[in-house]
Chain A
């Protein structure tokens, strides 16, 4: 039986269980007229039965489907004649793959010999048997669960509490997905990074001044063992982020002040959506805007005043990144300014402050925590931004504070390390995880500091 059919059958059984549970609840009190004698609403008895019918069966189904291929492959390998079994792991994998393809009727690499055909046939047999057993077991358990649930229905049975309990677990499970994913990613990055630090020392990575991650892929290749001093990447990131913030913070803040306090509602109605469009442009678009328009422009402008400017410069990337971040800064600051109660504004105006005095002396200080929070978020965003820098800032890991030179950033290097062919355990690849770890730690610190800052101000002003 196909798994899809099985699922559909299960769904049908679940529906049936719901109605059976409901009817049974009426039956135990002697008809819908006596529904008030039930502890819970009749629907809850239906859901209770449905849960008993569905959950155990689904659990078994998924475990089975997960384990099935492994078990079958193990059985096949067991049954292979010795000569085929006593090969290297890689060759065995290839063999098993071929057997599977053969079983599915797909093309295989090389010729199929008798042993393989034999194995493929057995593979199909096992698969069919497994499916049969699975179907019987699942449907059986579903039926059994439903029946048990039905038998437990009594007028005083607390079906609602049970159902709500299950729903609660479902909610917890759903919210754990995000948390578990985060933990999983952090752990995998951490472990890979630790592997990297076995090959390259932490101090070299954090304080080394040259970054040239080319390692020899084959042992006989000429080349180097690579050099993994990440300082040029950190300074590059810092440089570009600084330029971006120098653009985004004043412009974004002034935009927010204008929109929140000075603009008429008509200007606001047009400007706000436009800003949101700016925020919605894909970063690739910003990237080629940076590379094709802004970078040449920066170069011409620089040359006009007699400066040496690389065609890919930190300045171009930073400027464009700043523009990209303006909507983020302005909309978060706008929210913060709007959150300041009108009473504050009226109080200041009522004392004879001008609009600008009201803004600078009362509203901005009150909105500061929110604004700082917004700026820190923007910094995180700038540090993590990749596309614009890949396209506009270049790949050269120069250690410089000169915004007219090409620099590279942590994110760009992660991309270049992982693009193209590579071994998954070479220092070059693992370096990406180490960089990722640094990125993660830095943004985490930024967020924590930001939150602490915001909280401190809140306490003061509440």
Chain B
């Protein structure tokens, strides 16, 4: 526990530029995490049906009720109920294989492309059932953008990468409008300065961090309502990570963001709420600082103190 606090401080010293002040979005940042506070509460120990903490939120935008996901016989997500608010950042954490990516992929129906995957339960986006028969997954994915673990720019020019989404969705009436969308998106992703003279070069020629920001630009160019991020920084160095985290801060004003991460520091820095998954179950959800200072479930505590995972 002490080690974790220390690490946080050193990181803050090392990367002051990443700490742009906005405490509404990063509530955990300036609060000390006291080991004493943690001991006071009695913890839930069994891995039961019931999620500990507050699964509901004030202004829900995505509502998932009793969601189960099966890969063939493998019950990968078990009875998960969770609400995600409009313009909030929620972090999904948990040991490898616990189903974070699977849950994330339910939210934009990317699991459809896996033959063995089966999703049951109710998932609603802004009140609309996204697994309903009248909903087109293609249209859904334009509203729920996704950024992947490994940067995956298309083998096209930087410009064409960003213009891809607007083109297929017909968002731009003419070339000038398209240029405009591409430039704003790159700008919001913090990449414009670095690439504005090389828009025709292949996107695959950028550095890893730049590629990831290009993928984020590509996603926001479609103007989605939600952005899903599956370990977006795991292939990046600390500086590139800090830039992406800043970006998440900024984007969180307009978008609901669901981010999967293995870094507790990152979860603490960027998210408003944290959801802890374990073996396909949603064990605990709460405000970020509550989870990190005072988890109510034994498994959550073990995970964030480094005893599992």
Contacts of B108 in A (CB 8 A): 350
With an 8 A cutoff between CB atoms, is A156 at the interface?
no
A461 to B142, CA, bound (A): 26
The minimal Cβ–Cβ distance linking A409 to chain B, given in whole angstroms, is 38
Once the chains bind, are B152 and A351 in contact (CB under 8 Å)? no
With an 8 A cutoff between CB atoms, is A6 at the interface?
no
Q: Which of B150, B154, B204 contacts A348 (CB 8 A)?
A: B154
Contact (A461, B202) CB under 8 Å given A348-B154, A350-B141, A351-B165: yes
Write the A309-352 contact mask toward B (1 if CB under 8 angstroms, else 0).
00000000000000000000000000000000101111111111
With an 8 A cutoff between CB atoms, is A164 at the interface?
no
Once the chains bind, are B204 and A352 in contact (CB under 8 Å)? no
Once the chains bind, are B222 and A352 in contact (CB under 8 Å)? yes
With an 8 A cutoff between CB atoms, is A362 at the interface?
yes
With an 8 A cutoff between CB atoms, is A265 at the interface?
yes
Contacts of A361 in B (CB 8 A): 164, 168
A402 to B44, CA, bound (A): 85
With an 8 A cutoff between CB atoms, is B29 at the interface?
no
With an 8 A cutoff between CB atoms, is B91 at the interface?
no
Contacts of B215 in A (CB 8 A): 347
Contact (A352, B152) CB under 8 Å given A347-B215, A361-B164, A460-B202: no
Once the chains bind, are B142 and A351 in contact (CB under 8 Å)? yes
Size of interface on B: residues with Cβ below 8 Å to A: 29
With an 8 A cutoff between CB atoms, is A78 at the interface?
no
Once the chains bind, are B139 and A352 in contact (CB under 8 Å)? yes
Once the chains bind, are A350 and B138 in contact (CB under 8 Å)? no
With an 8 A cutoff between CB atoms, is B46 at the interface?
no
Write the B184-227 contact mask toward A (1 if CB under 8 angstroms, else 0).
00000000000000000010100000000001001100100000
Q: Which of B145, B150, B169 contacts A350 (CB 8 A)?
A: B145
Contacts of B202 in A (CB 8 A): 460-461
Once the chains bind, are B146 and A350 in contact (CB under 8 Å)? yes
With an 8 A cutoff between CB atoms, is A264 at the interface?
yes
Contacts of B150 in A (CB 8 A): 343
Once the chains bind, are A351 and B155 in contact (CB under 8 Å)? no
Once the chains bind, are A352 and B110 in contact (CB under 8 Å)? no
Once the chains bind, are A461 and B168 in contact (CB under 8 Å)? no
Residue of B139, B140, B156 with most chain A CB atoms under a 10 A cut-off = B156
Once the chains bind, are B218 and A351 in contact (CB under 8 Å)? yes
Residue of B nearest to A352 (CB): B142
The minimal Cβ–Cβ distance linking B103 to chain A, given in whole angstroms, is 16
Chain B at the A interface: SS class: helix
Q: Which of B113, B138, B140, B148 contacts A347 (CB 8 A)?
A: B148
Once the chains bind, are B154 and A349 in contact (CB under 8 Å)? no
Contact (A351, B148) CB under 8 Å given A264-B115, A265-B115, A461-B155: no
The minimal Cβ–Cβ distance linking B228 to chain A, given in whole angstroms, is 8
Once the chains bind, are A344 and B152 in contact (CB under 8 Å)? yes
Contact (A460, B155) CB under 8 Å given A343-B150, A346-B148: yes
Once the chains bind, are B156 and A365 in contact (CB under 8 Å)? yes
Contact (A354, B138) CB under 8 Å given A366-B155, A462-B204: yes
Residue of B nearest to A351 (CB): B165
Residue of A nearest to B215 (CB): A347
The minimal Cβ–Cβ distance linking B182 to chain A, given in whole angstroms, is 14
A366 to B164, CA, bound (A): 15
Interface residues in A252-267 (C-beta closer than 8 Å to B):
264-265
Contacts of B153 in A (CB 8 A): 347
Once the chains bind, are A349 and B141 in contact (CB under 8 Å)? yes
Contact (A341, B169) CB under 8 Å given A350-B145, A361-B164, A462-B204: no
Contacts of A346 in B (CB 8 A): 110, 113, 146, 148, 152
A439 to B154, CA, bound (A): 39
Write the A360-376 contact mask toward B (1 if CB under 8 angstroms, else 0).
01100110000000000
Contact (A357, B141) CB under 8 Å given A344-B154, A366-B154: no
Once the chains bind, are A351 and B156 in contact (CB under 8 Å)? no
The minimal Cβ–Cβ distance linking A361 to chain B, given in whole angstroms, is 7
Q: Which of B142, B148, B169 contacts A343 (CB 8 A)?
A: B148
Residue of B nearest to A266 (CB): B115
Write the B168-181 contact mask toward A (1 if CB under 8 angstroms, else 0).
11000000000000
Contacts of B145 in A (CB 8 A): 350-351
Q: Which of A265, A347, A351 contacts B168 (CB 8 A)?
A: A351
Q: Which of A264, A347, A357, A365 contacts B152 (CB 8 A)?
A: A347
A366 to B160, CA, bound (A): 14
The minimal Cβ–Cβ distance linking A262 to chain B, given in whole angstroms, is 11
Contacts of B143 in A (CB 8 A): 352
Contact (A362, B165) CB under 8 Å given A349-B110, A351-B222: no
Residue of B nearest to A261 (CB): B113
Once the chains bind, are B168 and A353 in contact (CB under 8 Å)? yes
A460 to B164, CA, bound (A): 18
Residue of A nearest to B218 (CB): A351
Contacts of A351 in B (CB 8 A): 141-142, 145, 164-165, 168, 218-219, 222
A63 to B89, CA, bound (A): 82
Once the chains bind, are A352 and B155 in contact (CB under 8 Å)? no
Once the chains bind, are A461 and B110 in contact (CB under 8 Å)? no
Q: Which of A264, A265, A362 contacts B154 (CB 8 A)?
A: A362
Q: Which of A265, A352, A461 contacts B138 (CB 8 A)?
A: A352
Residue of B nearest to A458 (CB): B155
Write the B91-134 contact mask toward A (1 if CB under 8 angstroms, else 0).
00000000000000000101001010000000000000000000
Residue of B nearest to A460 (CB): B202
A351 to B137, CA, bound (A): 11
A347 to B156, CA, bound (A): 13
Residue of B nearest to A366 (CB): B155
Contacts of B169 in A (CB 8 A): 352
Contacts of A343 in B (CB 8 A): 148, 150, 152
A344 to B151, CA, bound (A): 10
Once the chains bind, are A352 and B168 in contact (CB under 8 Å)? yes
Residue of A nearest to B156 (CB): A365
The minimal Cβ–Cβ distance linking A352 to chain B, given in whole angstroms, is 3
Interface residues in A7-52 (C-beta closer than 8 Å to B):
none
Contacts of A461 in B (CB 8 A): 155, 202, 204
- List 10 contacting pairs A-B, 8 Å CB cutoff, sorted by A: A264-B115, A344-B152, A346-B148, A347-B148, A349-B113, A350-B148, A350-B219, A351-B219, A352-B140, A462-B204
- Nearest 5 CB-CB pairings of A with B: A352-B142, A343-B152, A461-B155, A350-B146, A352-B141
- Chain B residues with CB under 8 Å of chain A are 108, 110, 113, 115, 138-143, 145-146, 148, 150, 152-156, 164-165, 168-169, 202, 204, 215, 218-219, 222
- Chain A residues with CB under 8 Å of chain B are 264-265, 341, 343-354, 357, 361-362, 365-366, 460-462
Name 6 extra pairs, CB < 8 A, besides A350-B141, A350-B219: A343-B148, A343-B150, A346-B152, A348-B164, A350-B108, A352-B222
